[in-house]
Amino acid sequence: MKKIAESVLAVVGKDLNGIKSAMCMNSGDIEIYPDSVHKIGDAAVMMGRNSEERFLMVVAYSEKTMPAGFAGEKLAIADGGAALVGKLDSTNAAALRKYFPWCAPKSLRNVKTTVGCGDRLGLATPGHVAAAKKFQVSPVIAQQSMRELSMTNRTFRSVVDDTVFGVFKSDYQLGWGADGDHLKTIPDIDVALEAGMPMITLDLSEVMNAAAGDWEDSKVDAAFAEMAADFKKRIADEYFDKEFVIGESSVKIDAATARRCAVMYTAALDFAVKVYNHLKSKRGDEFDLEISIDETTSPTLPSHHLYIVRELRRSGVEFSSLAPRFIGEFQKAIDYIGDLAEFDRQFKVHAQIAKAYGNYKVSVHSGSDKFAVYPTVGRETGGYLHLKTAGTSWLVAVTVIAEHECALYRKMHKAALASFNDMLKLYHITADITKIADVDTLPDAELVKLMDMPEARQLLHITYGPILTGELRGEFFKAMHKLEKEYEAALEKHFDKHLSLLGVPAR
């Protein structure tokens, strides 16, 4: 390590390209990531790796010229120079954000196309941004839900910090977002905000009266009758038996539908107003609010989408994106299940509603690997969309393990089978895992092919928690460190496919 630091000191007075060129010539156990080399005054800061871990290194002409704020082991090096080798921890992430503002997440409310790149490992950012650099898209890289945090023993702070190091390593200066995903309470939202997450996906499922969607009209009418008189009059005046022309389509709302919407959504929309005002008090205009109404058992009808948006706009709620529950099945890890023609017909109306009421982004949740619908989503939204992915980056890691570390994959597969029934309580999938062959009967070369099988993909997708927090954790992350370049290349290719099929233009 000292030898590397002295090599940096010898060239620290050069421009960045000169330092990077010198770092590319280093070999042996220690490697410096050339794209991570940056200057702070007369000091150089960079990331590197050895056979066991990644690290941050700062090199200066002297202790006095060492930038403040970094933490780590100090090295005395030749010619009076000073060096510091630190861990990829919260202190050093904060220092990077201080000196390099592009290392901090920001609001993407004015960006046309965004993609959520959930990373359950803290390792996926270089692969995500390698794809993002090639397309006119902004990645929301640090994206996690409370469920994912609990399953991986992470925090919003650690998710953001992990992303900071990935962004710095890749020299990604085009802007990125961070999303507190599917949050349901203001205390949880505050934790995400305190971690620096500018995007909040507000999940209204627990304050929405979704059950009323299946009530008899008489029960809906009785519930509506209990509402305030002035509210009932306004709903009648604005919605009863009205037809709204939306672009090339029209959406009709009869009296029964208007009453049902009022019963289903009023409490949820009131909460959305409360959350919006809270976000505004905390961050001014520097936040992205996504309204999520997708966590229901029945699809969001265009008439309901229209009602929700009109009511939000009436209340002055500014939101960047809205996630309906689309027709068909958006199950984890596999392609769309359903009638594509009907999806196309309904999605077109959803997209036209979004264009007519502020051109907000239509958000597609559980959106990874839904290749069959991507052309429609991209075309009908005109690129004003947010695609939310999460587990697909984990599955790319699983695929890399299956290809290169077969013994470990077999252990992971068996651990997934052992926890599958418990995980079904948390995730809705319909995979028949009895179709998956016993991994002990498969030759090594056949293991990676399992990740082309829907049942095996869903098995491994939902069982990440027990694998990442159980006895295989250490072995898994050791393998991922070894396979860092393979993982980055596989992720880049996977997200290239997503963005290409969505029709996102190249940069």
Catalytic residues: 181, 290
Torsion 369-372-374-380 (CA) sign: negative
**Contacts within 8 Å (CB) and 24+ apart, 478-484:** 479/401, 479/404, 479/405, 479/408, 480/121, 480/123, 480/397, 480/400, 480/401, 481/49, 481/52, 481/53, 481/54, 483/400, 483/401, 483/404, 483/405, 484/49, 484/123
Query: Residues 89, 90, 96, CA angle at the centre, nearest 5°?
Result: 95
Place of tokens 């997934």: 416
The total number of residues shown for the chain amounts to 507
If DSSP codes are grouped into helix, strand and coil, which group holds residue 468?
Answer: helix
Torsion 272-278-281-284 (CA) sign: negative
Q: Which amino acid is at 262?
A: A
The string over 448-458, giving b where at least 16 C-beta atoms fall within 10 Å of a residue's C-beta and e elsewhere, is bebbeebbbbb
Greatest alpha-carbon span in the chain: 86
Q: What's the burial of 21, exposed, middle or buried (CB within 10 Å: 0-12/13-18/19+)?
A: middle
The contacts of residue 222 (CB under 8 Å, 6+ apart) are none
Please count the other Cβ atoms lying within 10 Å of the Cβ belonging to residue 7. Answer: 18
The contacts of residue 444 (CB under 8 Å, 6+ apart) are 406
- Return phi, psi of residue 470, to 5°: -95, -160
Q: Are 451 and 392 within 8 A, CB to CB?
A: no
46, 151, 167, 335, 360 from 119: Cα distances, Å: 23, 13, 13, 20, 25
